[in-house]
Structure 1
């Protein structure tokens, strides 16, 4: 599965980041707490290298809290990089952001005389604009639960302590690692129009079967015909296509003739995953690279 999505405004963003980097004191990088590694664009790391960095693990309310704590410890580096978990829609979780920015710039002579000037970066649909709007208490940045909404840079005075330069989301030119594309597709960081949603759904179902089987069972009332377990927990022998059909059948997503509507089922499943309805789930574990995705390596 080869995924390519690099609209023209992303090329312009790359140029604008380089031109404006000297005007800011530090960088706020927003990652998806459910997949910090996959949602961390190496191009952005290279472009902003050398600046103090505050990493916001956004959508932490949708992530496995144990995994999120592991990622905070993994991503924090000395005095120049700090990682914190946030929920961009909850002002209480963002209250520490201005303070953390001040701490990262504490050695600068101007730190108590003017606001910290920061640039906010990240991939599409990771929550940059929502973070800005929640921090400022006003809708100063365009925000929507889909990628590619912010198209241009804009300066936003958030508070007396913090000014933010908002940037559009930027992805890679091409995903050479199909696992990265699969994770970002599952989380909604890539427009659905360029994805094979049934393939994204099947791969994600296989991951959940391996790592969070109880969440699938509880949400979709799955049972295992082979094991005939009344609690339905034993689903590890089910193929993802069979799981998708079981989910569609249980939800009544049936085509004329009695077959399961796999396209509608895939869309429904991915929406519930993205919205956190299935439960708090993380797609990555810093101490276990495979973490339920070993089937991808086996196929390559």
Structure 2
């Protein structure tokens, strides 16, 4: 026993610097991981008798949001493009929550007709809609076009949700108090709306496109909140955090090998889908937000968005342009 203690003391003395560095690195990594995990939705509200529609609910934070809503007793409508994945996810949610009232509906946000078809089905078959969560999205894809000829990221992330929300407004108003939650991103801070070239035909860049679409989410929320003032329908936009999901699937293959290695290391510290869903849940159900509308949130708390996201004239101009593009003008 004495020899073991002596050997340990000798080892520590010889490797004191290395051990100290390892300890500091470990503590720092733990602190960074805890900081990156963000806030947690503390609401214990039940949603029995309520109906929630979530776009892109078959994976990532959308699936975690759907599971939480099902656990609270809500009827959950999972509006998804990939029906095979959606049905598998719905089965898992039913099993985990014990809530059989989880249904799957087809929605391709890259098709305005698909959006209209879903909205019509919801209007005809649902008596109420208490929470609409515009969660689905695409990020950093090549220069693709939607079925209607729009740039893909702007079309899916903004225009599809713009049309869906507007076509479901009557049902949301009928179900007040009700909420609309738009999942944006901190990427909006570097974005601008290219009104002169909204589809970025002149000089497409996937990063520029994504930032524009996320800024559009915040501006849309702001203008929508203004238009819905005193109706009982409140609106929220948010940054969910940096999360381990499929959203970045178009980015990773384009990176140089060294960047892939760095990205893989960074992914160790980013949020899990459960952690990433917390701000969405906070905006959708927390009782303290009942009288708030049009604000932007991050880590379950209000946050001042970028100056260009507070431009009411730009928000109105974007609304008019979007309405024209989707046939609502």
Structures share fold, TM-score greater than 0.5:
no
> TM-score under structure 2 normalisation?
0.33
**Looking at CA atoms only, which structure, 1 or 2, has the larger radius of gyration?**
2
**Structure that is richer in helix per residue:** 2
